[in-house]
Every structure is written in structure tokens, then in C-alpha cells.
Amino acid sequence: MSIIFDEVITYKVISTALDLPVNQIQSLLGPRNLSNLTFRYLTTEESIKVAEDVNSTLNDLTIPKAGPNRLDTWEKGWNEILENVKSEGPNRETLTPQYFRHNIFRFNGRYIQSKSFDFEQEILDILRTIIIKKYLSSSEHIVELGCGTGVNLFLLSKILQNKKLTGCDWAKASQKLINQINITMKEKIKPVNLDLLTMKEWQNIEINSDTAILTLHALEQLGSNIEPLISTLLETKPQICVHLEPIVELYDLENEFDKIAHNYHIKRNYLIGFYSKLINLERAGRIKLIKVSRTGFGSTFQEAYTMIVWKVV
């Protein structure tokens, strides 16, 4: 019996996920073929099997936790990407991190299977394009924190041309990747070695009222150590801060599907307290939360695509 992929990501679905009007989504994305974003919802039996596999992972005592001891892992991973980029050149495919190679996801409270293994990257491209055009276009300088392979900056430079771009990451291999992008594509992205756990070397970045801060799946590695980053941003007052991250506070612990993702998040020691801190800062009149949107999309294990946009006031 052949598998039928009878669902598709539409402009309306994207509109609902980001809590933005459909006509605005259409304007920001422009004409785009979404026909390859097909998927199907898993059957009850299949979903139970996936949940069992996830729970098995939760019971694995060897699963790595985020934190300063993981730097060597990121150096190794980005060096592997660097070798591919050197031989094949920088593009979306060669710069894509190794962990984007799956076809089972979480979406709107259910498990789904995509027809293509490029599904997540296509979704990320859409979210990235919308975020960049809507929230970063008025900024003259865009700083990505935890930029990894540089793939976001590579694509950002094509969407918003003639912007000053800076890529920060604690792995030195990341700076080598950005240099490789600069050499091959004649870009001028500034690479900075920056540890978000300590914010050491932050003084090497020029931050002013025309600077935007961007993070995509980077802050999860901070765990509960969020104070150095938030304090630094409050002090330097960038124009806007935009994040696409896993936000543990938004899970509904009365919902078993959410609870599994919450437990995985805690198991991996991912970002904790960030959103709660922002809420408290807004109540104190120190920041303004512009947009908080839980997209409902994520990997088999968790949602890493909650959008938060805020600024210091």
C-alpha cells in the first residue's frame, strides 16, 4: 500500500503559525512554489511508536547535555562542514548543519511525516525570509549570535543586500567558514569568536541604535545561563532582537504531547528562563515584547521554532 501525502503547507498555514495576516505573508514571501511542502499526519499506531522511541531517548543516560563542555563537538561538526564547503563551495546545501536530515516532525500537536527530507530546511527558509524582511530590513547592521556554519548570514546577504553583517560563534571553525564564504562569494561578513555563556569579546562588535540581533536555534545551548546575554543586550540597546528558539515555558504540561517535548528540552539542558525573564523585564518597563508566536512546528523531539521579537526601551 503506497503512502499518501495529502497535506501541504500553505500561505494560510504559515499565517496561522506566525500570527501574521495572510496578505502580509504573501507579500513578504512573494510568488513561491509550496507544492513540495507535502506531508501526512501519522496514524495513531505510528504516533504511539514514535512516542515510545522518544521516551526511550529520554531514558538514555548517555544523551549529551548542552553546556560549555560541548564546544569540542561543535568544532568537530563545523570543521566537517568546512571541508565540504572548501571542495564544493558555499551554498544552502553545503552549509546546512548535519542534524537537518529527518522526515518525522511535530506539527500542531501531532506527529507528521514529510515527503521530502528537505522539508525542515524549506520551512526554515520560509520562516527566515519572513523574519528577515519584516523585522530586520530597517537595520543597517545585523549581528547573528551563534551563527554556526554561517548559512543564515549567507542567505540573509542575498535577501537584504548592502547590509553590514557580523557572525558570532564560540567555535573557531565558524569563523573559518565565514571567511570561506567571504572569499568565495566576495562578501564582507565579519566573523567574531564570541562565547554567549560569558559574552567575552562582545567589545569587538559595534552595537548601536541601527543594529539588529538575530539568533536561530542558538540560545538553546545556554541552558539556564541567560544573564550574561540579557544584561549585555540591555546595556548596549540594539534596535531590535529577533529569535527563533525552543521556548520551554510555552509547553502545556497538561498535554501529554507537549510534556514529552518539555521533558526532552529539560533532559538536554536547553534554554531555560529566557522567556520568563523577558516577561518580567517588560512588566518592569525595561523592554517591549513585539511578537511572541509559537509556530507549532518542530523536530521529533521538541519545538525549536518559536519566534520572539523584542526591543529595549
Domain layout of the chain by residue ranges:
7-312
208, 241 contact by CB (below 8 A): no
- Describe the strand order of the beta sheet including 141-145 as a list of residue ranges: 190-193, 164-169, 141-145, 211-216, 240-245, 306-312, 287-294
User: How many Cα atoms are found within 13 Å in the side-chain-facing hemisphere of 100?
Assistant: 20
Q: How far apart are the C-alpha atoms of 235 and 286, rounded to whole Å?
A: 11
The confidence score (pLDDT) of residue 99 equals: 82
Three-state secondary structure along the chain?
CCCCCCEECCHHHHHHHHCCCHHHHHHHHCCCCCCCCEEEECCHHHHHHHHHHHHHHHCCCCCCCCCHHHHHHHHHHHHHHHHHHHHHCCCHHHHCCCCCCCCEEEECCEEEEECCCCHHHHHHHHHHHHHHHHHHCCCCEEEEECCCCCHHHHHHHHHCCCCEEEEEECCHHHHHHHHHHHHHHCCCCEEEECECCCCECHHHCCCCCCEEEEEECCHHHHCCCCHHHHHHHHHHCCCEEEEEECCHHHCCCCCHHHHHHHHHHHHCCCCCCHHHHHHHHHHCCCEEEEEEEECCEECCCCCCCEEEEEEEC
Distance, in Å, from the CA atom of 108 to the CA atom of 302, rounded to the nearest integer, reads 12
pTM: 0.95
Widest Cα–Cα separation across the chain:
60
pLDDT in the model for residue 22: 97
User: For residue 273, what pLDDT is reported?
Assistant: 98
Q: Across all residues in the chain, what is the average pLDDT? A: 95
- Which cell is 84 given? 565540504
For 191-223, write each residue's pLDDT tens digit: 999 999 999 889 989 999 999 999 999 999 999
Q: Is there a contact between 227 and 196 (Cβ–Cβ < 8 Å)?
A: no
C-alpha cell at 121: 530546511
Kindly tell me if the per-residue pLDDT of 2 is higher than 80: no
Over residues 237-244, the mean pLDDT reads 98
pLDDT at 1: 60
Query: What is the per-residue pLDDT for 59?
Result: 93
Q: Rounded to whole angstroms, how far apart are CA atoms 306 and 246?
A: 6
pLDDT for the residue 254: 97
Instruction: Give 143-190 pLDDT, tens digit per residue.
Output: 999 999 999 999 999 999 999 999 999 999 999 999 999 999 999 999
C-alpha cell at 251: 509547553
pLDDT tens by residue, 9-54? 999 999 999 999 999 999 999 999 898 899 999 999 999 999 999 9
Per-residue model confidence as pLDDT tens digits over 250-303: 999 999 999 999 999 999 999 999 999 999 999 999 999 999 999 999 999 999
pLDDT of residue 100: 80
Neighbouring C-beta atoms of residue 172, cutoff 10 Å = 15
Is 3.40.50.150 the CATH number for 7-312?
A: yes
pLDDT digits (tens, 9 = 90+) for 57-112: 999 999 999 999 999 999 999 999 999 999 999 999 999 998 887 899 999 999 99
